[in-house]
Structure 1
Amino acid sequence: MDVIAKSRPETKPYWARCLAIVAVMTSGALLSGCMGGLDLFDDKVDTVRTSAVATSAERLTDEITVRNAVSSADLSHTAGNPIPWANSASGSAGVISTIAENRDTAGRTCRDFVTTKHSYQGIANYSGRTCLGSSGEWLLLAFDLQG
């Protein structure tokens, strides 16, 4: 009578034990590539750099993105509806809640706006002003963080 419920290694065939050892060694070799540079006895310190703090270039691209959204908005069709914007360069996004078109003292067409900015630093409210320049280009004159 053969006992088939035993799990002791000596009851398993030799080829099955070899296959298990090869499988463990292969998986160890493959996974060691995921842990490159792991040296438990090395006194060097690894550093990780993140872009958790926005650079001035990222802020500038956010301002340009908002300016473009405000200046290209068709106010007759938006009728006060929020306008979403997103900047793939910085990962920031937001919603322009209001845009009011008026003329400044120099007679230029200007648009005052209020927007949110969702970024890695959190959510913030901004107000701003963009005006149409003499060359036909919209200029961002203000983009201020609201407290």
Structure 2
Amino acid sequence: MSRIAQAFDSGQWSVIASASSKAVIVIIALPLAACGAGGFSLEKAEVDRSIVTSSAPARVTSADADSASDQTTIGNAVSSADIEELRGQAVPWANADTGSRGSITELAEVQDNGQDCRSFTASRESFDGVALFKGQLCIAAAGGWHMQDFKPL
């Protein structure tokens, strides 16, 4: 008979049981003692800034910047349109920077306080949806065009 088998046969079960129960108590008590000794605290926890991920950067342009870019593109289309040649036809426009597009209708030349202006209605199709705007573009004293009025309908 082997020595292990002899130990079980000789009535040493009480010694083995006593040793295993002490081991169980030590295994349970040790982690509890570590927690009670202040080993971990949420107040002491800090963010690890050394971790670097390969996430994509946030988009720099905002909805306001896209809208301003589209307004400039519409203004350029209105100022360069030949009203006499169009005879009431819509003027298409597209902004490659924002992906927006639309058409300009009701384009007419008007006088506003002695200034030559062009009034218009413009549609804008973008990722945000479809919108309709009413605007007026006037020629400045230096000869350039500036947006006098541009508001959603």
Q: Do these two structures clear the TM 0.5 threshold for a shared fold by scoring above it?
A: yes
Q: Which has the higher contact order (CA 8 A, sep 6+)?
A: 1
Extract structure 1 runs of 4+ deviating beyond 6 A.
47-51
Decide which of 99, 103, 106 is 2:111's aligned counterpart: 103
Distance 1:54 1:83 in 2: 26
Residue correspondences, number: 101
**Structure 2: tracts of 5 or more residues without a match:** 1-54
Per the alignment, residue 80 of structure 1 pairs with 88
Per the alignment, residue 120 of structure 2 pairs with 113
Deviation at 1:90, TM superposition (A): 0.8
Name the CA shift for 1:119/1:49 in 2 (closer, same or farther; >3 Å): farther
Between structure 1 and structure 2, the one with the greater Rg is 2
Question: What are the Cα deviations for residues 16-71 of structure 1, in whole angstroms up to 9, with x where unaligned?
Answer: xxxxxxxxxxxxxxxxxxxxxxxxxxxxxxx88886x9522211110110001001
Per the alignment, residue 25 of structure 2 pairs with none
Alignment pair present for 1:70 and 2:78: yes
Matches within 5 A, 1:14-25: none
Per the alignment, residue 69 of structure 2 pairs with 61
SS of 2:75's partner is helix
- What is the percentage of aligned positions where both structures have the same residue? 35
Deviates more, 1:54-63 or 1:130-139: 54-63
Per the alignment, residue 152 of structure 2 pairs with 145
SS of 1:102's partner is strand
Q: Calculate the aligned-residue CA RMSD, in Å.
A: 2.2
- AA aligned opposite 2:118: R
Question: What are the Cα deviations for residues 63-83 of structure 1, in whole angstroms up to 9, with x where unaligned?
Answer: 110001001100110000000
TM-score, length-normalised on structure 1?
0.62
Deviation at 1:97, TM superposition (A): 1.3
**Structure 1: tracts of 5 or more residues without a match:** 1-46
Decide which of 133, 136, 141 is 1:134's aligned counterpart: 141
